[in-house]
């Protein structure tokens, strides 16, 4: 089998995706390098020593290449056959983090593997993609039925729930990207609309003052009533529904959010969530304040003056904005070299691109992603099997969500949720996840004439 397989694969492989993949990884390595670069370093040592992040990333990349080759020589039916099993494994790993999780940067979502730390919430995206593809690809699944729709949503969102419990809200939000393939497969748009509405509602409930929120919700309700006039005339129950939603929204902010934040969560958890939205948090319960402040002081995190999160956004915008059209040149970014941007290796790597390569460089990278996504959607639409198509859409959606939210967050257009820029950000877990996602897609696409269920 191994003797026959390679020529076939070579023929059927989409080389555009591979080139785009390699280009993005290269951009990533260069930028991780320049974030850490100091003139006095010995380049040979620093690239080979596994001491620096870019040398580690290079090492991760070589592992990823090995994994990619393994995926390419695996039978495409293997993925559909093991999809459910892998999904179960993923959920198990997520649960395992609650027991053996390692605390990295305040979040117990990592499983130490020795040479690297694995973040199941990250890798679980692959398993969800496969499981969704498997479920929707089954002959007996009729996706027009609400029951099937609910099952599909459950498959997609279960890992998100666990991620939230691990304080990885950012990663959890990524799972909402799976609405996109479901939408493509016929999920009623109402789900999408209500899902987005709920998300907006939640964020607004956290961010807005009580009075402003109440007014805003009331205005939205009034507009809804106005628009639904003809329908209300026919069915009075819609009026009741709008009123119920209005009441629910108000209650969510007045009682739900405070209950969850003040009573259910520990103060530091609440603080993490609040700070993700750029807000400072001080417990309302005076008894908790003291313990909270003491804990913060012990962590050495007492902030001086300005808000930490605001500082991040400001520095991030300064770095990108100071790049101008042509950029300051590779290794010449003053903001990057001065380490003004926190987490610049990982979540804020785009700032280094923006500062040193300027508008053309940042746009080019953005266009690379855009091309990748368009190629993947193109690939998705030419699949004969639903399994492959759903999987391709899952891949595109996850990449899309990561790229758009990450870049927007560095430019102050989205709240700061810690999700990496695919293939570019430093991090073995992330790089490996996206490598596997993309190469499984390549493998499935190579067999696009075969029906896979």
Partner 1 sequence: MSDYNAIRSRIIQVAFTAAFIIIIAQLFNLQILSSKYARMADDQAIYRKVVYPSRGLVYDRDGKIILDNTTLFDLVVIPSQLKGVDTQLICRVLNIDTTEFRKRVVNAIVKNGRYQPSVFQGLLDDSLYARLQERLYTIQPGFDLVERPIRKYPYSGAAHVFGYLGEVDPKFLETHANEGYRMGDYTGMTGIERSYEKALMGQRGIQFWLRDKMNRPTQRYEGGKFDTAMVAGNTLYSSIDIDLQVFGELLMQGKVGSMVAIDPQTGGIIAMVNAPSYDPNLLTGSQRRAQFSRMYQDPLKPLYNRAITGEYSPGSTFKTLQAVIGMQEGVITEETGYPCTGRYNGCGNGKPGCHGGGHSPDLKSAIAVSCNAYFAHVFRQIVDQPRYGGVDSGITVWGKHLADFGLGHRLGVDIPGERPGLIPTAKRYVKTFGPNWNSCNVVSVSIGQGEVNSTILQLANAIAMIANKGWYYTPHVIDSIGGGDKWGLLDPYKKKIKAAEIPDHMFEAVHEGMDAVVQGPTGTARRMRIEGIVMCGKTGTVENYYRGKKQRDHSFFAAFAPRDNPKIAIACIVENAGFGGTVAAPIVSLMIEKYLHDSISKVRQPWIERYSSMTIIPARLQAEINKMDSLKRVKELQRIKGNEIKQSNKPVEQLQTKVKNENRGRPFPAKRNEPGEPLAALLPESFRNPGYSFFDYLRYRTD
Residue 364 touches partner 1, criterion: CB under 8 A: no
Angle at 429 between CA 427 and CA 430, to 5 degrees: 70
Q: How far is the CB of 342 from partner 1 (least distance, A)?
A: 9
Among 362, 423, 438, 444, binds partner 1 (CB under 8 A): 362
CA-CA distance, 163 to 23, in Å (whole number)?
31
Among 370, 384, 450, 453, binds partner 1 (CB under 8 A): 370
Residue 188 touches partner 1, criterion: CB under 8 A: no
Residue 91 touches partner 1, criterion: CB under 8 A: no
Q: Which is nearer to partner 1, 6 or 146 (CB)?
A: 146
Q: Which residues, numbered 205-264, are part of the site for partner 1 (CB under 8 A)?
A: none
> What's the sign of the alpha-carbon dihedral 222, 228, 234, 235?
negative
Taking contact as CB under 8 A, which single stretch among the options 90-98, 155-163, 184-192, 268-276 is the one that binds partner 1? Answer: 184-192
Q: Which is nearer to partner 1, 373 or 432 (CB)?
A: 373
Residue 49 touches partner 1, criterion: CB under 8 A: no
- Please provide residue 44's backbone torsions phi and psi, each rounded to the nearest 5 degrees: -60, -50
Residue 369 touches partner 1, criterion: CB under 8 A: yes
Q: How far is the CB of 338 from partner 1 (least distance, A)?
A: 4
Q: What is the dihedral of CA 64, 67, 73, 74, to 10 degrees?
A: -130
Q: Which residues, numbered 52-71, are part of the site for partner 1 (CB under 8 A)?
A: none
Residue 41 touches partner 1, criterion: CB under 8 A: no
Q: Which is nearer to partner 1, 60 or 340 (CB)?
A: 340
Identify the residue whose tokens are 């956290």. Answer: 206
Displacement of CA 135 from its chain's centroid (Å):
22
Q: Of the candidates 378, 439, 383, 375, which has an alpha carbon nearest to the alpha carbon of residue 133?
A: 383
CB 152 within 8 A of CB 175: no
Q: Which is nearer to partner 1, 118 or 180 (CB)?
A: 180
DSSP secondary-structure letter at 425?
Answer: S
Q: Which is nearer to partner 1, 6 or 188 (CB)?
A: 188
Among 39, 103, 209, 298, binds partner 1 (CB under 8 A): 39
Q: Of the candidates 71, 83, 181, which has an alpha carbon nearest to the alpha carbon of residue 439?
A: 71
Residue 332 touches partner 1, criterion: CB under 8 A: yes
Residue 306 touches partner 1, criterion: CB under 8 A: no
Residue 12 touches partner 1, criterion: CB under 8 A: no
Taking contact as CB under 8 A, which single stretch among the options 177-185, 197-205, 229-237, 258-266 is the one that binds partner 1? Answer: 177-185
Q: How far is CA 415 from CA 56, 322, 364, 407, in A?
A: 29, 21, 24, 11
Secondary structure in 3-state letters for 268-302: HHHHHHHHHCCCCCCCCCHHHHHHHHHHHHHCCCC
Among 79, 162, 175, 340, binds partner 1 (CB under 8 A): 340
355: buried, middle or exposed (CB in 10 Å: 19+, 13-18, 0-12)? buried
Residue 390 touches partner 1, criterion: CB under 8 A: no
Taking contact as CB under 8 A, which single stretch among the options 45-53, 149-157, 159-167, 336-344 is the one that binds partner 1? Answer: 336-344
Q: Of the candidates 65, 35, 29, which has an alpha carbon nearest to the alpha carbon of residue 47?
A: 29
Q: How far is the CB of 228 from partner 1 (least distance, A)?
A: 23
Q: Which helix (H) or strand (E) holds 132?
A: helix 120-137
Displacement of CA 200 from its chain's centroid (Å):
17
Residue 302 touches partner 1, criterion: CB under 8 A: no
Q: Which residues, numbered 119-138, are part of the site for partner 1 (CB under 8 A)?
A: none
Residue 307 touches partner 1, criterion: CB under 8 A: no
Q: Which is nearer to partner 1, 270 or 328 (CB)?
A: 328
- Please provide residue 385's backbone torsions phi and psi, each rounded to the nearest 5 degrees: -95, 140
CA-CA distance, 360 to 266, in Å (whole number)?
45
Q: How far is the CB of 80 from partner 1 (least distance, A)?
A: 21
Q: How far is CA 21 from CA 205, 328, 375, in A?
A: 39, 26, 12
Q: Which is nearer to partner 1, 162 or 401 (CB)?
A: 401
- Please provide residue 221's backbone torsions phi and psi, each rounded to the nearest 5 degrees: -60, -40
Q: How far is the CB of 17 from partner 1 (least distance, A)?
A: 16
Structural tokens at position 148: 């099937």
CB 276 within 8 A of CB 417: yes
Q: What is the largest CA-CA distance in the chain?
A: 77
Angle at 303 between CA 298 and CA 305, to 5 degrees: 155
Q: Which is nearer to partner 1, 86 or 373 (CB)?
A: 373
CB 14 within 8 A of CB 379: yes
Residue 195 touches partner 1, criterion: CB under 8 A: no
Residue 142 touches partner 1, criterion: CB under 8 A: no
Q: How many residues bind partner 1 (CB under 8 A)?
A: 47
Q: Report the interface residues with partner 1, using CB under 8 A.
A: 38-39, 180, 183-186, 304, 317-325, 332, 334-335, 337-340, 354-355, 358-359, 362-363, 366-367, 369-370, 373-374, 377, 380-381, 393, 396, 400, 404, 407-408, 411, 413
């Amino acid at each position: 089998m191994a003797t026959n397989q390679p020529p076939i694969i070579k023929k059927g492989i989409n080389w555009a995706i591979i080139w785009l993949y390699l280009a993005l990884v290269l951009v990533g390595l260069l930028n991780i390098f320049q974030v850490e670069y100091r003139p006095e370093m010995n380049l040979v040592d620093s690239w080979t020593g596994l001491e620096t992040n870019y040398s580690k990333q290079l090492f991760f990349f070589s592992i990823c290449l090995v994994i990619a080759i393994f995926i390419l020589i695996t039978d495409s039916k293997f993925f559909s056959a093991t999809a459910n099993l892998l999904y179960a494994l993923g959920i198990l790993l997520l649960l395992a983090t609650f027991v053996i999780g390692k605390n990295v940067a305040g979040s117990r979502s990592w499983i130490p593997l020795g040479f690297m730390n694995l973040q199941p919430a990250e890798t679980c995206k692959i398993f969800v993609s496969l499981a969704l593809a498997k479920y929707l690809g089954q002959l007996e699944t009729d996706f027009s039925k609400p029951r099937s729709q609910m099952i599909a949503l459950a498959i997609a969102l279960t890992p998100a729930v666990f991620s939230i419990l691990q304080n990885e809200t950012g990663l959890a939000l990524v799972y909402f990207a799976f609405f996109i393939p479901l939408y493509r497969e016929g999920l009623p748009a109402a789900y999408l609309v209500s899902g987005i509405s709920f998300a907006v509602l939640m964020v607004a409930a956290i961010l807005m003052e009580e009075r402003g929120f109440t007014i805003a919700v009331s205005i939205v309700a009034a507009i809804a009533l106005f628009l639904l006039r003809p329908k209300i005339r026919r069915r009075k129950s819609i009026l009741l529904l709008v009123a119920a939603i209005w009441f629910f929204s108000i209650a969510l902010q007045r009682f739900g959010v405070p209950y969850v934040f003040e009573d259910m969560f520990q103060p530091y958890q609440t603080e993490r969530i609040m700070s993700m939205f750029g807000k400072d948090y001080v417990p309302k319960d005076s008894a908790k304040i003291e313990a909270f402040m003491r804990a913060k002081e012990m962590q050495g995190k007492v902030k001086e003056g300005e808000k930490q999160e605001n500082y991040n956004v400001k520095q991030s915008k300064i770095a990108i904005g100071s790049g101008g059209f042509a950029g300051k040149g590779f290794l010449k970014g003053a903001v990057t070299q001065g380490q003004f941007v926190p987490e610049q290796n990982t979540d804020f790597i785009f700032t280094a691109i923006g500062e040193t390569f300027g508008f053309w460089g940042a746009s080019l990278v953005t266009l690379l992603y855009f091309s990748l996504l368009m190629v993947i959607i193109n690939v998705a639409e030419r699949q004969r099997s639903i399994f492959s198509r759903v999987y391709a859409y899952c891949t595109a959606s996850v990449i899309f969500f990561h790229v758009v939210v990450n870049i927007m967050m560095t430019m102050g257009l989205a709240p700061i949720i810690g999700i990496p820029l695919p293939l570019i950000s430093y991090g073995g877990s992330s790089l490996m996840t996206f490598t596997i996602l993309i190469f499984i897609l390549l493998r499935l696409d190579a067999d696009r004439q075969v029906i896979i269920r």
